[in-house]
Amino acid sequence: MQQLLWAILLFVFSQNSVAFDPLDPFGNITIKWDVISWTPDGYVALVTMNNFQMYRHIMTPGWTLGWNWAKKEVIWSMVGAQTTEQGDCSKFKGGNVPHCCKRDPVVVDLLPGVPYNQQIANCCKGGVVSSYGQDPSAAVSAFQVSVGLAGTSNKTVKLPKNFTLLAPGPGYTCGPATIVPSTVYWTKDRRRKTQALMTWNVTCTYSQFLVSKHPSCCVSFSSFYNETITPCPSCSCGCHNKDKCIKSGSKRATSVGVNTPRKDNEPLLQCTHHMCPIRVHWHVKQNYKDYWRVKLAVTNFNYRLNYTQWTLVAQHPNLNNVTQVFSFDYKPLVPYQSINDTAMFYGMKFYNDLLMEAGPFGNVQSEVLLQKDKNTFTFKQGWAFPRKVYFNGDECMLPPPEAYPSLPNDAKIEAITISAIVASVIWLIHLFIW
Ligand SMILES: *[C@@H]1O[C@H](CO)[C@@H](O)[C@H](O)[C@H]1NC(C)=O
Ligand SMILES: *[C@@H]1O[C@H](CO)[C@@H](O)[C@H](O)[C@H]1NC(C)=O
Ligand SMILES: *[C@@H]1O[C@H](CO)[C@@H](O)[C@H](O)[C@H]1NC(C)=O
Ligand SMILES: *[C@@H]1O[C@H](CO)[C@@H](O)[C@H](O)[C@H]1NC(C)=O
Ligand SMILES: *[C@@H]1O[C@H](CO)[C@@H](O)[C@H](O)[C@H]1NC(C)=O
Ligand SMILES: *[C@@H]1O[C@H](CO)[C@@H](O)[C@H](O)[C@H]1NC(C)=O
Ligand SMILES: *[C@@H]1O[C@H](CO)[C@@H](O)[C@H](O)[C@H]1NC(C)=O
Ligand SMILES: *[C@@H]1O[C@H](CO)[C@@H](O)[C@H](O)[C@H]1NC(C)=O
């Protein structure tokens, strides 16, 4: 029944949108322009970027927003952000030179710690925006722009066109700006409301396939009931970088400069057979009468990147009965009211929300205790393994079903629970060596 529902939902949604994520069907980034005043030659707008995606955040080096002016507009000034180039402002004589004269301005956030007179609320975070599921209050970024040589009323103003969003890399497609009902602002005591003079919205959606034809993470499995460790499929993330990778423990892996990020964010990977920057490991650790326990580990194989505010999403039918999650923060995701099988995990602030670069500290781990639903629970046929796994909003490659650790024939689970200890040891070795 559930499978059928999923199939129908998938079909319905995939018909009308390319960038559709079944685990976050309503996720998008919305950019809203509120005109807050008209000026003699244009307007002042408050631009707010809201990340409505449950588990896809914008990490360092942050967002870059571009658009094309419809006419010959210029940007007189900005607060809380800046354009990356001024462009040719030579026709402006005298003291008053615009901040940017380009027809296609490209805007970036300011870094934290700029003087107060250059800040506005929700600005100056180096372009880092949290996912909505992780922290709704930090899932917003804003700046103010003063536009000149533009329309000066809601009849003459022309909306900017061709919005582009890098967050920080490619993947987002933005729709056209559309006029929406003016934003309403309430005073603090909620006794008076004011409204923007005019508001338009732009919606941007994410598609993993615009980034790369290969996944960016893979999943490996193990269990207490079978000694086999099911590795990530070979070349999960494409083996095109194989000649540039670094052998773990080699001289080069510990040399100075390996960890220096590059301007183009090109990764420098540790050599593995999967060649993924991220591996997620799902270990079925223990079996109790009414509960079972899963161990989760995420390993970073990129020497040049620390993952800040990382997120992990897993889909499994028993995630409707999570009893306890150790050392990760956890939130159930229920995009379709009737199906509760998806969980989002993320690091605890100041404890493990930073997944360090490849090396001895490049991993984070947790355990999840689940209550069995007696009608569906089984260790047979790989049921105990996840159906889908996402890291930072990108879907990870799973092993093929025939490779899953299988239950030994007619063995009693209770009897082999003892071997859980052995399996854990193997698992630990696996974590540090592979
Ligand atoms: C964008 O996301 C919000 C919040 O989930 C949703 O209400 C809105 O309909 C979405 N917009 C589009 C165009 O999908
Ligand atoms: C415009 O964007 C804001 C968020 O920035 C959202 O609350 C509002 O619903 C959007 N309006 C429409 C019509 O999509
Ligand atoms: C927007 O992009 C399209 C296609 O890239 C281009 O033809 C058009 O001129 C652009 N619009 C503006 C106002 O630059
Ligand atoms: C433009 O402003 C006039 C009044 O100044 C208002 O009646 C009208 O609804 C506004 N139109 C839009 C599209 O906001
Ligand atoms: C990762 O973070 C640590 C601690 O903040 C820092 O020392 C290291 O240089 C960072 N590595 C990269 C690749 O940015
Ligand atoms: C979904 O399952 C989680 C984990 O047991 C639970 O906390 C949450 O209340 C459930 N949500 C719904 C809507 O059933
Ligand atoms: C969790 O499992 C218990 C025991 O099987 C069951 O009674 C309960 O309804 C389950 N909760 C959910 C949200 O499915
Ligand atoms: C463990 O799982 C593998 C892969 O499914 C299977 O080939 C093997 O027979 C299993 N081992 C035992 C002892 O059942």
Q: Residue 59: pLDDT above 70?
A: yes
Residue 409's pLDDT is 74
Cα 382-385-391 angle, rounded to 5 deg: 150
Statement: residue 433 has pLDDT above 80 = no
Query: Do residues 234 and 314 both lie within one domain?
Result: yes
Residue ending a domain, among 210, 227, 259, is 210
Tell me which ligand sits closest to the C-alpha of residue 331: 6
> Would residue 172 count as lying in a domain?
yes
Q: Which of the listed residues 17, 24, 26 should we mutate to test ligand 1's pocket, taking the one with most ligand atoms within 8 A of CB?
A: 26
pLDDT of residue 144: 97
- HEC per residue, 10-70: HHHHHHHCCCCCCCCCCCCEEEEEEEEEEECCEEEEEEEEEECCCCCCECCCCCEEEEECC
Q: Given this model, what pLDDT does residue 2 score?
A: 47
For a pocket test of ligand 3, which of 69, 73, 161 has the largest count of ligand atoms closer than 8 A to its C-beta?
161
Same domain, 197 and 304: no
- Asked whether residue 2 is assigned to any structural domain, the reply reads no
pLDDT (mean) for 58-70: 95
**Do residue 164 and residue 280 come from a single domain?**
no
Take atom 6 of ligand 1 and give the residue whose Cα is closest.
26
Nearest atom (ligand 2) to Cα of 32:
5
Mark which of 210, 229, 261 sits at the end of a domain.
210
**Is 221 part of a structural domain of the chain?**
yes
Distance 331 CA to ligand 6 centre (A): 9
Same domain flag for 205 and 233: no
* pLDDT above 90 (res 390): yes
Question: In this structure, are 151 and 287 located in the same domain?
Answer: no
Same domain? 179 vs 280: no
153 located within any domain: yes
CA 418 vs. chain centroid, Å, equals: 39
Residue-wise pLDDT for 255-307, tens only, equals: 888 898 888 888 999 999 999 999 999 999 999 999 999 999 999 999 999 99
Which CATH number covers residue 382? 2.60.40.290
> Which residues are registered as beta bridge partners of 346?
311, 329
Q: Residues 19-48: pLDDT tens digits?
A: 688 999 999 999 999 999 999 999 999 999
Give the chain's radius of gyration (CA, Å).
25
- Any ligand 5 atom below 6 A from CB of 34: no
In the prediction, which pLDDT does 16 show? 39
For ligand 7, whether the C-beta of 306 sits within 6 Å is no
Task: Output phi, psi for 206, to 5 deg.
Answer: -105, 140
Q: Whose CA is nearest to atom 10 of ligand 3?
A: 162
Alpha carbon distance 330, 342 (integer Å) = 11
pLDDT of residue 400: 96
pLDDT of res. 24: 94
What residue owns the CA closest to ligand 1's atom 14? 26
For residues 195 and 329, membership in a common domain is answered with no
Q: Among the listed ranges 94-98, 123-127, 199-203, 415-419, which one has the minimum average pLDDT value?
A: 415-419
Report the alpha-carbon distance of residue 402 to residue 175 in Å, rounded. 42
Distances (CA, A) of 138 to 227, 264, 350: 43, 26, 16
pLDDT at 413: 52
Among residues 62, 53, 30, which one has the least CA distance to residue 174?
30
Averaged pLDDT, 193-213:
95
CA distance 343 to 322: 9
Cβ of 60 closer than 6 Å to ligand 5, yes or no, is no
Q: 43: CA distance to ligand 4 center in Å?
A: 15
Q: Which ligand is nearest to the CA of 158?
A: 3
Task: Kindly list the distances between the CA atom of residue 201 and the CA atoms of 32, 103, 160, 176, 178, in Å, as whole numbers in the listed order.
Answer: 4, 20, 11, 8, 5
Kindly state whether residues 90 and 113 are assigned to the same domain.
yes
The SS3 call for residue 254 is helix
Strand partners, 143: 47
Question: Distance from the CA of 44 to the center of ligand 2, in angstroms?
Answer: 19
Closest Cα to atom 3 of ligand 4: 154
Q: 73 — phi, psi (to 5°)?
A: -60, 155
Tell which atom from ligand 5 comes closest to the C-alpha of 305. 13
11 within a domain of the structure (yes/no)? no
> What pLDDT band is residue 253 in, cutting at 50, 70 and 90?
confident
Residue 9 in domain = no
Counting ligands in written order, which one lies closest to the CA of residue 122? 2
How far does residue 387's CA lie from ligand 8's centre (Å)?
A: 20
**pLDDT(88) > 90:** yes
Task: Select from 195, 210, 225 the last residue of a domain.
Answer: 210
pLDDT at 434: 44
Q: 128-144 pLDDT, tens per residue?
A: 999 999 999 999 999 99
Mean of pLDDT over the chain: 90
Q: Could you give the CA distance from residue 320 to residue 343 in angstroms, rounded to a whole number?
A: 8
Instruction: Confirm or reject: Cβ of 173 under 6 Å from ligand 1.
Output: no
* Residue 84 CA to ligand 1 centre (angstroms): 29
171-185, 310-324, 367-381, 415-429: least confidently modelled range: 415-429
Whether the CB of 228 sits within 6 Å of ligand 5: no
Q: Is 253 exposed, middle or buried (0-12, 13-18, 19+ CB in 10 A)?
A: middle
Residues 341-355 have a mean pLDDT of 95
Give yes or no for residue 126 having a pLDDT over 60. Answer: yes
Mutate to test the pocket of ligand 6, among 320, 322, 338, 368 (most ligand atoms within 8 A of CB): 320
**Amino acid found at 6:** W
Task: Indicate if 159 and 223 belong to the same structural domain.
Answer: no
Q: Residue 410 is part of which domain span?
A: 214-424
Same domain for 156 and 48, yes or no, is: yes
- The stretch 306-332 carries a mean pLDDT of 95
Distance between terminal CA atoms of the chain?
39
Q: Do 324 and 394 reside in the same domain of the chain?
A: yes
Across the strands, what pairs with 30? 50, 203
* Neighbour-count burial of 203, counting CB atoms closer than 10 A to its CB (0-12 exposed, 13-18 middle, 19+ buried): middle
Residue type, 88: D
Least confident stretch, 327-341, 376-390, 418-432: 418-432
Q: Residue 205: inside a domain, yes or no?
A: yes
Per-residue model confidence (pLDDT) at position 256: 86
Please tell me the residue having the least CA distance from ligand 4 atom 7. Answer: 154
Residues 335 and 313 in one domain: yes
In a domain, 434, yes or no: no
28 lines ligand 2 (CB under 6 A): no
Ligand nearest to the CA of 416: 8
Number of domains in the chain: 2
Pocket of ligand 8 (CB under 6 A): 226, 228, 404-406, 408
